[in-house]
Amino acid sequence: MKMCCIIFRCLVLLIMEFLPFLFGETIEVSIFLIMPDSARLNKKLKNALAESYYTDIIRDLKRSKTYSGVIKQSSRIIDTENPQDILDLFCENIFKEKVNTILYFQLHPTKDPTPNYIINMAEYLRIPVISWDSQFPGALENKQDSTVLQLAPTIYHQCVLMIDIMKKFKWTNFAIVTTTTFHYLEFTSAIEALVKEHNQRVKFDRKSRFNLLSSIVVNILPSDNDTVIKDKSREAFRRDNKLENRVFLLHANSHEAKDIMEVAEELELTGKDYLWIMSSFCVGFLRNPNAPRVYPLGSLGITYTTIAKDEYEEKLLENAIKTSVRLWVETLKEIYTYRNQYQISPNFSCESQQSLQQWRDGEFFYQLMKNVTLDKPTPVQFSENGVSQIVNLRIVNIQHLTEKYTTRQIWKEVGRWVPVESEIKNKAKMMVEMSGITWPGNSILPPLGKPEKRFFRIVTLKEQPYVYYLDKGAQENCVPPSVPCRVMKDKVISTNDSSLQNNSVVRCCAGLCIDILTVMSSRMQFDYELYEVPDRTWGLPDQGTGEWNGLIKQIQDHRADMVLTSLKITPKRSEVVDFSIPFLETGITIMVSIRKGNISPTAFLEPYDYPSWCVILVFSVHATGAAIFISEWLSPQGLNRGATPLREHRFSLFRSFWLIWAMLFGASVSTDNPRGVSSRFLSNVWALFALVFLASYTANLAAFMITKDEYYNLSGIKDWRLTNPYSMKPPFKFATIPNGSTEENLRKNHYNMYQYMQRYNRPTVDDALEALKRGKIQAFIYDATPLEYHAGNDNNCELKTVGEKYAMTGYGIAVPKKASYLEEINEVILELKENGELERLRRFWLAGACHMKRKRGQSSHTIGIPNFTSAFILLASGVLLGGLVLLMEHLYFKFGRRCLRKYDKNLCCSLVSLSMGRSLTFEQSVMKAMARQKLKECKNPQCEVSLWKERHSHDLSLMYINKLREQLESYGITPVEDTITKPQICDISLKHNGYPNTSHFRHHNAYKSVENRQESHQLDSYDSTPVRWKRKCLKRSSSYTNAVEVARDEISDKHKVRFSEGKFYIGVDNDSSDQETL
């Protein structure tokens, strides 16, 4: 029966081979299998190819009637490394048989270069290759001219699985251990690329970031024996291994891995805290479950075979052949529809004299094949670079097996790498499934992947706000966030301290750096001892010997593992220590002291510039005043060109100016307003202008009437006062702190400044700030951030940083050269930066009340008398100017009025100033006398009588003078006119208080005599005895200024009357001094 089946298959094959020729079909394609030199596998591979050819090609492809033509399959065993034999293979087999796809299978690792020859030749000719090679190095390459499709799990896949295992158990710190034999560059490159890709994806989650601590590469030659391999491994571990390494990824062949494990056990790297993950090259083909005794218990391995099944290799390759053939058939189906556009099989020949040309349609055939997705017999889905995304990898674990009182180590499968549904189209996703694991040390819990708490000695130095010292609490402990620290004895106030040891005592340290230290100790899991550097210097090399001091020397002498304070990163320091990434930016800046400033004496003028004041106060005021007066002079309702008497409308040029000034400053004073329409309109316009002027002036005056801080506003480190201090008298003094990075920078770049400031340098920052406030120095050059802190937290806000920052750098954490924990420190700092914690600490520690006030524009200075100088100067100037005007007024009345009266015949001065005009007329003199008399009125009878006598005598003298004048005129003699004022008697209407009513006066009869000749005659004939009352007589007003006319019936008995010189005076008390009474 079996023979019949074979015969039937042969007949079918013959019919199918010759059938296309009968119908004229000429398409011929072939698939070619290249096999390794393994007699045990050759028969199995050939049978698998033949079976696949029948099932997939004959039964499926031909029966589907989608393809007809000559389809062949052939195979060849490669047993040579000669390139010429490889060329013969292509010429004699591949070219002649119209092969358009090559299958290459290499199950075991080999150093034979033959696979590379075949693949490179096929890629050059653009012939697609379906490969099953676990050593395939092109998984990371994205070659544009590649025509290889890889079905096997590659080194890259194993690296991805290792990373997934570490993700599952949160092992973020690890090391690579590899030899230089089997593609170690591909292994290390794949791990580094995957770590970089993962860290970029989770950059905001520092806890999940991977940290490749070290790469330990053992350089092995093919001729090295076990002893040499062990020696080289021991040297590599001691050179590159870091103390915190706990997870190792091992890639080497099984023989080299055993030697490496022996050395690792010798160096105590295989205990319960250490985990080893091995690649399939270390594990090998697991034909039996036994594991090498030198492999540590709990180690994990990766393999693509099962355990204890001898025929698994054959089944693996048979399955790969079936998958490859199925993939080829599906591609033929796809390309057959394009047979008129593309050449399905190449047409190469070695007999042609021309050089071989590439199969131009091979790229299209390769792309179609790469896009094929299979579900069976094995799931297949390729990536962009032609590597299968779905692979079958297993995870094995070394465990103890006890049988018949004997314990041995075995490999046990504990997990698989299985595909899961992916959210991204055309991209497979794999997931780790693990269970039943034995962990190192036979523990039931996985190792932490990082060391237990370490211990570091950390040296520091006081620098507010980064590190400063506090006294211990009442219970002799430090209240968080402060931590215990040991400082030098002379830094402590109390000398009796129980913690005194080696001239140092325990205090409490706090500050920004202490907060960072607290976070680092928690994240990096270490304990520490914090102490102050004994010489209390930052660290500079000696100019003669080059020996360092201070903080740097502590690191050099291995007395400290870390420097944590505001230590600046400089090139010279970086030569002897390693720095972390900067946790804060800084530079060199300059601090000066603020002197309490005074308001400028001309502050009230500063709202406008001087040209504006000239336009407003000189031109606008006087031009507008003159315009108002001219309009009033010409207005019929105003002065009407002088026709309106000044007594009726008192308005002049000076009164126009007074109106303008009063309106300008809003003064509540009495003013004379114009009557004309045009002059009133001009006055309203001026009022609007005055409103705008006062509003803008008042609004801007507040900005200038504030105290102005005075300080040396240096432009920077190259300011002329620093580069040439002797240009000022006295010389400009500035300082810094010795043995620091600032002094080092100045010594290197500004040597003259460095030499000059040596005499003024201060030992500490506090001393320098105190000297700055007291004026002993004018500037302090130091690190920017500490100075900004002191400027913001000064008690009286008397400090200020000025100028541009110089020599920008950063503060870093110093560690010894090649310290293994430096990367951990960097990770913590990056995490603090990215989550905003470092910025929060900076704002908390560096902010200050003075900064906030300056930001809001506030000033806390109290305004005193010196700050109000401008107002006092303005008042004093007004007083002096008033005194000068008073002096000029007296000079005018004493000297100027007499001269001016001679020239002012037309009363022009009254148009300019009414006061000046009145001072030149008789009426003004009378009014002044009357006003003076009113102000000097007597308050007792004796004074009144004396004053009455004097005034009565004066009246009689005037009347006698008038009588004499009339007698002279009767004789034809004209008397000479003088300026003596004549009395106004009986014919002038009186006001209530006895003053003459000036409205009856006119300018042209101001000096007219009002003597009543009839009454004068009656007075002359009067015999000085009271015989009878005349119809009219004279009486005195209550002010006794003038004798006035009164009717007889007005006199009553109740009035007290005095008679003298022919006149009756009523309303006067009688006393014994009077000669005649009635």
Summarised one tens digit per residue, pLDDT across range 312-326 is 667 777 788 888 888
Residue 698 in any domain: the answer is: yes
1054 falls within a domain: yes
Q: Are residues 316 and 305 in the same domain?
A: no
User: What average pLDDT does this structure show over 329-340?
Assistant: 80
Lowest mean pLDDT segment, chosen from 728-742, 863-877, 932-946, 969-983: 863-877
**Same domain, yes or no, for 218 and 296?**
yes
545-587 pLDDT, tens digit each: 889 999 999 999 989 999 999 999 998 999 999 999 999 998 8
Q: Is residue 914 part of a domain?
A: yes
Beta strand pairing status for 504-510 and 468-470? antiparallel
520 lies in the same domain as 488: yes
**Are the C-beta atoms of residues 404 and 397 closer than 8 Å to each other?**
no
Query: In this predicted structure, what is the pLDDT of residue 1054?
Result: 45
Question: What are the angstrom distances between the C-alpha of 811 and each of 74, 516, 582, 583?
Answer: 71, 12, 5, 6
Task: Supply 735's token pair.
Answer: 């300082």
More confident residue, 950 or 262: 262
CA distance 309 to 311: 6
Q: pLDDT per residue over 871-919, tens digit each?
A: 556 567 766 876 787 688 778 777 777 777 777 766 667 666 666 666 6
Residue 717 lies in a domain: no
| Winning range, highest mean pLDDT, from 201-205, 310-314, 445-449, 629-633 | 445-449
Higher pLDDT, 446 or 337: 446
User: In this predicted model, what pLDDT tens digit does every residue of 160-202 receive, in sequence order?
Assistant: 999 999 999 989 889 999 998 778 888 999 999 999 988 888 8
Mean pLDDT along residues 998-1006: 39
Per-residue pLDDT at 1022 exceeds 50: no
State the total domains in the chain. 7
HEC secondary structure over 504-542: EEEEEEECHHHHHHHHHHHHHCEEEEEEECCCCCCCCEC
Q: What is the reported pLDDT for 451? A: 78
pLDDT tens digit sequence for 726-758? 988 889 999 999 888 888 888 888 999 999 999
Which of 687, 704, 721 is the last residue in one of the domains? 704
Q: What is the CATH number of the domain that holds 643?
A: 1.10.287
Residues 200, 201, 207, 209, CA torsion sign: negative
Cα separation of 846 and 843, whole Å? 5
pLDDT for 247 beyond 90: yes
Q: What is the pLDDT of residue 415?
A: 92
Residue 532: pLDDT band (50, 70, 90) is: very high
Same domain membership, residue 928 and residue 880: no
Pairwise CA distance, residues 726 & 732, whole Å: 7
- Among 514-518, 768-772, 973-977, the range scoring the smallest mean pLDDT is 973-977
Provide the CATH number for the domain around residue 742: 3.40.190.10
Element (H, E) at 692: helix 677-704
Nearest in space to 1009 (alpha carbons), one of 1074, 958, 940, 933: 958
Whole-number pLDDT of residue 259: 94
Residue 180 near residue 196 (C-beta atoms within 8 A)? no
Report if residue 418 sits inside a domain. yes
Do residue 354 and residue 291 come from a single domain? no
pLDDT class of 397 with cuts at 50, 70, 90? very high
Q: Are residues 399 and 303 in the same domain?
A: yes
Of 440, 437, 449, the residue nearest 396 (C-alpha): 437
Same domain, 194 and 71: no
From 673-682, 777-786, 852-861, the region with the lowest mean pLDDT: 852-861
**pLDDT value of residue 1002:** 38
Which of 364-378, 424-438, 1010-1024 comes out lowest in average pLDDT? 1010-1024
Q: With respect to residue 583, please indicate whether it lies within any of the assigned structural domains.
A: no
Query: Does residue 108 have a pLDDT over 70?
Result: no
Check whether the bond before 446 is cis (ω within 30° of 0): no
Q: Which domain holds residue 351?
A: 17-152+312-370
Least confident of 2-6, 541-545, 703-707, 708-712: 2-6
E strand or H helix that includes residue 888: helix 869-891
Q: What is the model's pLDDT at position 165?
A: 93
Where would I find the H helices in 758-813? 765-774, 784-793
Residue-level pLDDT at 216? 94
Confidence band for 1047, pLDDT divided at 50, 70 and 90: very low
3-class DSSP state for residue 463?
strand
- Same domain for 139 and 244? no
- Whether residue 779 is contained in a domain is answered as yes
Contact (Cβ atoms closer than 8 angstroms) between residue 286 and residue 396? yes
953 and 1058 part of one domain:
yes
Same domain, 34 and 140: yes
- Range from 782-796, 895-909, 997-1011 carrying the lowest mean pLDDT: 997-1011
First CA to last CA distance, the chain:
190
User: What's residue 1023's pLDDT?
Assistant: 40
Q: HEC profile for 252-283?
A: CCHHHHHHHHHHHHHCCCCCCCCEEEECHHHH
At residue 266, the pLDDT reads 92
Q: Is the pLDDT of residue 497 over 80?
A: no
CATH value at residue 92: 3.40.50.2300
Tell me: do 294 and 427 sit in the same domain: yes
Nearest one of 1048, 1035, 591 to 802, comparing CA atoms? 591
As a whole number, the mean pLDDT across the chain is: 77
800-838 pLDDT, tens digit each: 889 888 888 899 999 999 887 888 899 899 988 888 888
pLDDT of residue 1028: 38
Answer yes or no: pTM beyond 0.75.
no
pLDDT of residue 61 exceeding 70, the answer is no
Selection from 397, 391, 399 nearest residue 431 by Cα: 391
Closest CA to 31 of 320, 321, 316: 321
Q: What pLDDT is recorded for position 425? A: 67
pLDDT-based confidence at 18, cuts 50/70/90? Answer: very low
Angle at 972 between CA 968 and CA 974, to 5 degrees: 60
Tell me: cis bond preceding 377? Omega within 30 of 0 counts: yes
Binding residues: 573, 741-742, 783
Q: Pick from 577, 595, 617: which residue ends a domain?
A: 577
Tell me the per-residue pLDDT of 668-686, one tens digit each, with 9 for 90 and over: 777 878 877 788 788 888 8
Highest mean pLDDT among 240-249, 314-323, 414-423: 240-249
pLDDT bin (cut points 50, 70, 90) of residue 412 is: very high
pLDDT the model gives residue 690: 82
What 3-state class would DSSP assign to 458?
strand
Q: Give me the phi and psi of 1030, to 5 degrees please.
A: -75, 165
pLDDT surpassing 90 at residue 264: yes
pLDDT of 455 > 60? The answer is: yes
How far CA 1070 is from CA of 848, 945, 951, 1039, 1054, in Å, comes to 89, 9, 17, 17, 13
For residues 519-529, average pLDDT: 87
In a domain, 716, yes or no: no
| C-alpha pair distances (Å), 301 with each of 157, 278, 281, 412, 781 | 13, 5, 9, 10, 62
In this prediction, what percent of the chain has a pLDDT beyond 90?
A: 19
Give the list of residues 6+ apart from residue 593 with CB closer than 8 angstroms, or none: 711, 772, 773, 775, 778, 798, 799, 800
The pLDDT value recorded for residue 75 is: 66
Is there a single domain that holds both residue 678 and residue 812?
no
List binding-site positions for L-glutamate: 573, 741-742, 783
